[in-house]
């Protein structure tokens, strides 16, 4: 028997500034999916991810969701926090059982020793992106869906490989990923399951 979807939408419609972006979208995200959400600039990818995450109301229709992690286009690490503090705050906020060991491992994997305890305001875009991505390495419920908006932005080659491995391992473990990315070559390194195309 097929597994139940981890996230699904029913006749979802979305618009922005009076312009319809998508209509009647019935999407099912299954365990082990790693799906590329693609479309031209302005086609509504960010708006859709935010709607799926519950950060924005749809025009009509509904979303059924379980555990999820949303990472926006901007890394979203507050200026005043260090990557270590951001991770500790995220672990607490998620109510995750992330031990200090799990936090340490996530920090070591993603953030350099030289800057993991410096305020984000003093970090580069790539370092900030890494601090945001470290949160995904914390323990989380089985079947969590990751909604990632341009997660490869600003990463160097090593960061890209690390993220590809993290996305694949998450899908292998029964989670799912829906991601945007403007590079076909990058998307092809991780995509699994049908693309979702807007526009
Ligand atoms: N604050 C806003 N007010 C009105 N319209 C907006 C606003 N922000 C975005 N839009 C419009 O909503 C549409 C969808 O934007 P969205 O950011 O979801 O697209 P996108 O596919 O993620 O684009 P990109 O590939 O450029 O990141 C665009 O046509 C944009 O002009």
Tens of pLDDT, residue by residue over 10-27, are: 999 999 998 999 999 999
Pocket flag, ligand 1, residue 100 (CB < 6 Å): no
Task: Say yes or no: CB of residue 42 within 6 Å of ligand 1.
Answer: yes
CA triplet 62, 63, 65: central angle to 5 degrees?
A: 155
The protein residue whose alpha carbon is closest to atom 25 in ligand 1 is 41
The structure tokens listed for 32 are: 């082990």
pLDDT at 28: 97
Answer whether 155's CB lies under 8 Å from 126's CB.
yes
DSSP state of 47: H
- Contact status, residue 139 vs residue 102, Cβ threshold 8 Å: yes
- Ligand 1, atom 4: nearest CA belongs to which residue? 17
Q: Is any ligand 1 atom within 6 A of the Cβ of residue 43?
A: yes
Mean pLDDT of the residues in the chain: 94
Ligand 1, pocket-test mutation among 13, 14, 17, 40, most atoms within 8 A of CB: 17
Residue 59 banded pLDDT, cuts 50, 70, 90: very high
Q: Tokens standing for 129?
A: 């992106």
Pairwise CA distance, residues 77 & 75, whole Å: 6
**Which DSSP symbol is given to 30?**
-
Per-residue pLDDT of 160-180, as tens digits, reads: 999 999 999 999 999 999 999
Q: How many whole angstroms separate alpha carbon 58 and alpha carbon 153? A: 27
Is the CB–ligand 1 distance for residue 15 below 6 Å? no
pLDDT score for 97: 56
Indicate if ligand 1 lies below 6 Å from the C-beta of 45: yes
Distance from the alpha carbon of residue 87 to the mean position of ligand 1, in angstroms: 29
Query: What is residue 162's predicted lDDT score, i.e. its pLDDT?
Result: 97
Question: pLDDT tens across 117-140, in order?
Answer: 999 999 999 999 999 999 999 989
Say what the pLDDT of residue 1 is. Answer: 62
Which atom of ligand 1 lies nearest, measured to the CA of 149? 22
In order of 10, 127, 142, the CA distances from 83 in angstroms are: 38, 9, 25
Name which residue sits closest to atom 18 of ligand 1, judged by CA.
44
Query: Which element (helix H / strand E) includes 16?
Result: strand 7-16
Return d(Cα 126, Cα 120) in angstroms, integer: 11
Q: Model-level pTM greater than 0.90?
A: yes
CB 21 within 8 A of CB 15: yes
């Amino acid at each position: 028997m097929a597994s139940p979807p981890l996230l699904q939408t029913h006749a979802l419609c979305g618009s922005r500034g009076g312009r319809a972006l998508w209509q009647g979208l019935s999407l099912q995200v299954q365990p082990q999916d790693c799906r590329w959400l693609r479309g031209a600039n302005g086609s509504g990818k960010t708006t859709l991810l935010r709607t799926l995450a519950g950060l924005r109301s749809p025009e009509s229709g509904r979303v059924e969701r379980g555990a999820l992690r949303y990472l926006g286009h901007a890394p979203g690490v507050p200026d005043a926090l260090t990557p270590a503090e951001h991770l500790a705050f995220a672990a607490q906020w998620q109510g995750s059982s992330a031990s200090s060991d799990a936090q340490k491992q996530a920090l070591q994997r993603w953030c350099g020793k030289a800057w993991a305890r410096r305020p984000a305001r003093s970090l580069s875009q790539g370092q900030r992106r890494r601090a945001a991505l470290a949160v995904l390495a914390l323990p989380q419920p089985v079947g969590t869906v990751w909604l990632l908006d341009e997660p490869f932005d600003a990463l160097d080659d090593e960061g890209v490989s690390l993220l590809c491995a993290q996305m694949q391992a998450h899908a292998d473990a029964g989670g799912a990923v829906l991601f945007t990315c403007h590079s076909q070559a990058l998307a092809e390194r991780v995509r699994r399951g049908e693309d979702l195309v807007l526009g």
